[in-house]
């Protein structure tokens, strides 16, 4: 049966009505019959495209929006809808191309600028995101949705005061979704400022009116994760999952919290359940590959190993390549593991170039810093004592902190950036000291000894020596080739040097040179902790460390796997095992991969 344009419009309305009623099959059949007539009205292409977008037939939706652009190139809405799908698929370059094509047609269109801003924000191009959203706001200064997005970008870039000022200007009905979004952003500001209690008050206040908003539970779980209140996080996640059982981000966060609490079997179970609903979930595959060999789940392993990486988004490609590398590593196929490791790290460097220069510049700045010797930081009897654990990532520092935190007087701070943040806020070293101690006291004011495991604090040894007379620095070292391999095999999100074997090696050698110099200057407060010696001869080496700290000896220090503390590093699964030397000398399995840097470490090869 042939339709004319007026009949097509009538049937589109019927299809929309069926869609609204929830009768998706009937709606789809009507749309398909109309499309088969090949009378492609703009309304038909957009309506059927939106329908397919909602039912997750994104390939069909994209084709319909592409066809709409071809047939009706001056209608901007098609460009925006297509760009939204491309953005969700992480196809950012094509999304930007589509939006810039739309901007050539309509230079001043606030919705194009708004969508450009969202797209730039997705790839953390915050400067461009601000320019685009400011353009949208200039065209429509009273659009509160635009104001919310600008505040969101400001929060992402830690411009907390500007964001607060903007958000407080907005007058929003308390039952509106924009009010919800504003309060979520305010809670993020409080988190940025480490005012966790205020953030919790805001989010729990929202819970009274917006208990059916799934992102509320996600934000609460993120808060509890950052504040290291994992038990609270697990409770709120389970509450959210009861309401939204198919919302994978909540379940994924639950798996992460289980792992960090040492509940490895529960974490594995959670991620395997995610794969039942989303068999190509790159994040869960990666998490599983770091703590499980798929020995009882051959189907999942087969799926992972057979995934073609060519058509994946960049992020998915990275995560699946790391996952494949880990799986082949577990199966002792080190050549294939090396192959996928190289791809994963090369892709990461495309997104985020190495930060090696910034790190080396930081080291040199503090190496050459002239500190006023007249500054008075006297030892205070019974004052807090800080143990700074420094070195390279994957040097055995998580095991070390687990050993030290078995002392009941110790509070493990983990990988906090308190010292770096304090130095960025002030040039006055007295103020830096006060800022640091205030941050520590916010976490725990009752303990007397604190372990700070920000490994790159080795840059600041002169500052530590000057500011904290009661402090001790424990330099954690490991066989450099094992250490470099372990860094390269780990998907670090905030250490982009870790994707280049040459840069890892350069930083390793630099840190050894720097620490040698600092040991000659400040030797009395620096202890060399050799991870290889600890795993080969734990009793003698750990006993020596405890003696150096002037602590009373306990056999408990030999069983750090029994420590119930939460662990937030890449070693959170490994540290639950007994002290072992399994990974010592593993670099030899990857000799071909490491060949370009092996000669830099002649003592070890």
pLDDT, tens digit (0-9, with 9 covering 90-100), for 456-506: 999 999 999 999 988 999 999 999 999 999 999 999 988 999 999 999 999
| 172-278, CATH topology level | 1.25.40
Give yes or no for residue 16 having a pLDDT over 60. yes
The torsion of the CA quartet 225, 227, 233, 237, rounded to 10 degrees, works out to -50
Q: How far apart are CA 488 and CA 354, in angstroms?
A: 13
Confidence bin at 311 (pLDDT 50/70/90): confident
Of 3.30.70.600, 3.40.50.300, 3.30.360.10, 3.30.465.10, the CATH number of 358-598 is 3.40.50.300
Q: Across the strands, what pairs with 391?
A: 476
- Write the CA distances from 174 to 85, 125, 210, 451, integer angstroms: 31, 32, 10, 43
**More confident: 253 or 8:** 253
Give yes or no for residue 570 having a pLDDT over 60. no
Tokens 């339709």, residue located: 3
Q: Where are the domains of the chain?
A: 172-278, 358-598
Give yes or no for residue 565 having a pLDDT over 60. no
List all residues 6 or more positions away from 294 whose beta carbon is below 8 Å from its beta carbon: 288, 300, 301, 304, 327, 330
What is the model's pLDDT at position 5?
A: 74
Q: Which long-range contacts (CB under 8 A, 24 or more apart) does 60-68 make?
A: 61/85, 62/86, 67/40, 68/40, 68/42
Q: What is the pLDDT of residues 23-58, one digit of tens each?
A: 899 999 988 988 888 888 999 999 999 999 988 889
Q: What is the pLDDT of residues 61-79, one digit of tens each?
A: 999 999 999 999 999 999 9
The whole-model pTM stands at 0.82
List all residues 6 or more positions away from 586 whose beta carbon is below 8 Å from its beta carbon: 482, 485
Give yes or no for residue 443 having a pLDDT over 90. no
The torsion of the CA quartet 479, 461, 363, 349, rounded to 10 degrees, works out to 50
Q: How does DSSP assign 14-55, residue by residue?
A: HHHHHHHHT-HHHHHHHHHHHHHTT---HHHHHHHHHHHHHT
What is the model's pLDDT at position 442?
A: 82
Is residue 312 classed as helix, strand or coil in its secondary structure?
A: coil
Q: What is the pLDDT of residues 182-204, one digit of tens each?
A: 999 999 999 988 899 999 999 99
Angle at which helices 24-36 and 5-21 cross, to 10°: 160
Give yes or no for residue 377 having a pLDDT over 60. no
- Arithmetic mean of pLDDT, 106-121: 96
What is the model's pLDDT at position 562?
A: 76
Give yes or no for residue 381 having a pLDDT over 50. no
Q: What is the pLDDT of residues 323-371, one digit of tens each?
A: 999 999 999 999 999 999 999 999 999 988 999 999 999 999 999 998 7
């Amino acid at each position: 049966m042939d339709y004319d344009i007026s009949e097509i419009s009538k049937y589109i309305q019927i299809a929309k009505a069926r869609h609204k009623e929830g009768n998706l099959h009937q709606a789809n059949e009507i749309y398909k019959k109309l499309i088969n007539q090949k009378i492609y009205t703009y309304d038909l292409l957009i309506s059927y495209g939106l329908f397919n977008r909602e039912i997750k037939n994104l390939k069909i939706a994209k084709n319909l929006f592409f066809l709409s652009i071809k047939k009706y190139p001056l209608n901007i809405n098609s460009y925006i809808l297509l760009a939204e799908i491309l953005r969700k698929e992480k196809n950012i370059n094509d999304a930007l191309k589509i939006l810039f094509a739309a901007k050539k047609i309509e230079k001043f269109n606030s919705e194009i600028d708004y969508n450009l801003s969202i797209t730039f924000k997705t790839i953390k191009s915050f400067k461009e995101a601000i320019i685009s959203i400011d353009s949208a706001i200039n065209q429509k200064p009273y659009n509160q949705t635009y104001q919310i997005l600008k505040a969101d970008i400001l929060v992402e870039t830690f411009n907390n005061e500007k964001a607060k000022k903007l958000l407080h200007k907005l007058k929003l009905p308390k039952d509106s979704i924009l009010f919800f979004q504003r309060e979520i952003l305010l809670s993020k500001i409080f988190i940025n400022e480490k005012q966790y209690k205020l953030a919790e008050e805001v989010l729990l206040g929202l819970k009274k009116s917006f208990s059916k908003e799934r992102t509320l539970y996600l934000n609460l779980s993120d808060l509890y994760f950052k504040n290291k209140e994992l038990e609270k996080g697990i409770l709120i996640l389970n509450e959210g999952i009861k309401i939204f059982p198919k919302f994978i981000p909540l379940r994924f966060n639950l798996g992460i919290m289980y792992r960090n609490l040492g509940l490895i079997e529960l974490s594995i179970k959670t991620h395997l359940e995610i794969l039942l609903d989303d068999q190509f979930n790159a994040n869960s595959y990666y998490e599983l590959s770091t703590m499980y060999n798929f020995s009882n789940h051959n189907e999942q392993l087969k799926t992972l190993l057979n995934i073609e990486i060519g058509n994946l988004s960049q992020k998915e490609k990275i995560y699946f390549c790391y996952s494949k590398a880990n799986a082949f590593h577990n199966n002792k196929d080190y050549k294939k593991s090396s192959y996928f490791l190289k791809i994963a790290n090369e892709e990461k460097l495309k997104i985020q170039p190495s930060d090696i220069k910034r790190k080396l510049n930081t080291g040199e700045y503090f190496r050459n810093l002239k500190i006023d010797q007249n500054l008075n930081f006297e030892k205070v009897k019974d004052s807090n004592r800080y143990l700074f654990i420094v070195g390279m990532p994957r040097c055995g520092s998580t095991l070390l902190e687990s050993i030290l935190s078995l002392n009941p007087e110790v509070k493990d701070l983990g990988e906090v950036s308190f010292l770096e943040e304090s130095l960025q806020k002030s040039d006055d070293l007295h103020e830096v000291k006060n800022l640091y101690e205030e941050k520590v006291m916010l976490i725990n004011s009752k303990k007397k000894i604190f372990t700070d495991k920000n490994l790159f604090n080795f840059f600041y040894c002169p500052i530590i020596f000057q500011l904290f007379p009661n402090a001790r620095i424990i330099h954690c070292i490991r066989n450099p080739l094992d250490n470099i391999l372990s860094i390269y095999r780990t998907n670090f999100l905030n250490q982009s040097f870790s994707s280049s074997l040459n840069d890892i090696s350069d930083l390793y050698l630099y840190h050894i040179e720097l620490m040698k110099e600092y040991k000659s200057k400040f030797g009395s407060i620096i202890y060399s902790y050799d991870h290889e010696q600890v795993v080969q001869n734990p009793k003698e080496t750990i006993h020596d460390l405890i003696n150096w700290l002037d602590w009373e000896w306990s056999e408990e220090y030999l069983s750090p796997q029994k420590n119930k503390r939460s662990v937030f590093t890449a070693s959170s699964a490994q540290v639950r095992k007994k002290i072992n030397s399994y990974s010592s000398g593993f670099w030899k399995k990857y000799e071909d991969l490491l060949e370009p840097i092996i000669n830099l470490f002649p003592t070890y090869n």
